[in-house]
Chains A and B, each alone.
Chain A
């Protein structure tokens, strides 16, 4: 049973455009929702995270939008650049030092 569903599997965006990746979760007890960026052959790097008490969090060109009633959250990358080309994973977890449950990833390609 997949607890976090991520879409799309792959995404191609023009340089300067907006990249949008969506995730949906099932467990209403989840209260921590991070996004990770991974380049080929490297470990994932924490990009930005949100808790369900806020609907949006922005850090630079990266924004998380959170919809608690719909059990959905999304990552928006503004002014997408070729250097943003990577695989992005959403995740969710319960409180405390509990394991993350990951989506299956979105491979983003930003083309000039």
Chain B
């Protein structure tokens, strides 16, 4: 099956700990994205990568870090510097041609207490 996988589905951490969210795609997509979703806020862009070994900050990058060492993988680290990390995190990827349709993974719900 082709698609985007995110793991785990639910993640619980104590305040002050860094945590890494996984995102893998087997769609051969060049571009990958991380969004954060909070109730009533829509989807806000954290980081994106259009090519391996390169990435750009989105609108709310503070307190987050990413890497793109492989085309298939785009992990997101939520650091202790992120003030309000509890949220629903969504990974997406985009086709490299045509309509550039963006497809989303199932999401990871992170709860920090």
Residues of chain A at the chain B interface (Cβ within 8 Å): 6, 9, 32, 34, 36, 41-46, 49, 51, 89, 93, 95-100, 102-105
Q: What are 16 pairs between A and B in contact, CB < 8 Å?
A: A6-B42, A36-B104, A41-B107, A43-B6, A43-B90, A44-B43, A49-B99, A49-B101, A89-B42, A95-B100, A97-B100, A99-B33, A99-B45, A102-B42, A104-B40, A104-B42
User: Does more than half of chain B's interface fall in helix, strand or loop, or is it mixed?
Assistant: strand
Residues of chain B at the chain A interface (Cβ within 8 Å): 4, 6, 30-31, 33, 40-45, 48, 50, 58, 90, 92, 94, 96, 99-107, 109
Whether B104 and A34, one on each chain, are in contact in the complex, defined by CB atoms closer than 8 angstroms, is no
User: Does more than half of chain A's interface fall in helix, strand or loop, or is it mixed?
Assistant: loop
> How distant is B75 from chain A, measured CB to nearest CB, in Å?
17
